[in-house]
Amino acid sequence: MSAQQPLLETKVLLVEDEAAIVTMLRYNLEREGFKVFSTGDGDEAVGLVKAHRPDVIVLDWMLPGMSGVDICTTLRRQEETKAVPIIMLSARGEESDRIRGLDAGADDYMVKPFSPGELVARIRSVLRRLRPVLSEKQLAFSDLKMNLAAHHVTRGSKDVHLSPTEFGLLRHLMEHPGRVFSREQLLDAVWGHDIYVELRTVDVHIRRLRKGLDPEGNHPELIRTVRSAGYALEEVPVGEKQPESPADK
């Protein structure tokens, strides 16, 4: 196993008609914690993508039925499938073929034969690069709604505009409504463990998030500052002033 975080619940659709390759890839991907499903039929692929919502597609070029390039083009044209990462496989290694594959909308391209380890590495890389979220899930709290796939937030009937950091903060809070998170916990959850950020930075982003959720200042506050503890997503009674930081006296 690699030292990287296992990508649990990450679904991979294999579209490949060579049984031996499917068996080998399935074995290697499952061992790495991926959930794998597959088809060898090009005509089935688009329907499967819609039904299973894979996080990444490994797509062979030459298939019975629709070709990999046509599948790729079709997926890229449709709203519900246009953002799914695609890694194209092919025995064709000519540069013009690679370009055609990438032009059709593939995110990466691998020439057969290849090592399964390299494919796993490319999948991880494509996911890190392209997939900001794991699911199509919608989160809701009070009059807030968050569409994770579309990175879209509304409050009541209005769109809420947030930077990626504020979106990440709000997402974390909406996944655990009512729970109090210390600023350290929010840093870990949103910025990650391996970078150094000052605690005050969290306060700054919470302030921006509050502003984003209520630009005109006429809605109830949804983020409570819990003194010497942290922040929580909670409906705060109108008029109750929240300290700017949990550290404020």
- Note the residues at the interface with Ca ion (CB under 5 A): 17, 60, 62
Position with the least CB separation from Ca ion? 62
Sheet (strand 144-147) strand order: 138-141, 144-147, 152-155, 158-160
Least distance to Ca ion, CB of residue 15, Å = 9
Least distance to Ca ion, CB of residue 36, Å = 17
Least distance to Ca ion, CB of residue 60, Å = 4
The residue whose two tokens read 């579209």 is: 15
Would you say 62 or 133 has its CB closer to Ca ion? 62
Would you say 90 or 245 has its CB closer to Ca ion? 90
Least distance to Ca ion, CB of residue 64, Å = 8
* Cα separation, 180 vs 245, whole angstroms: 13
Would you say 42 or 168 has its CB closer to Ca ion? 42
Would you say 60 or 234 has its CB closer to Ca ion? 60
* Cα separation, 144 vs 43, whole angstroms: 40
The residue whose two tokens read 């655990």 is: 176
Helical residues (DSSP H) of the chain, grouped into ranges: 19-31, 42-52, 68-77, 95-103, 116-130, 164-175, 183-186, 199-213
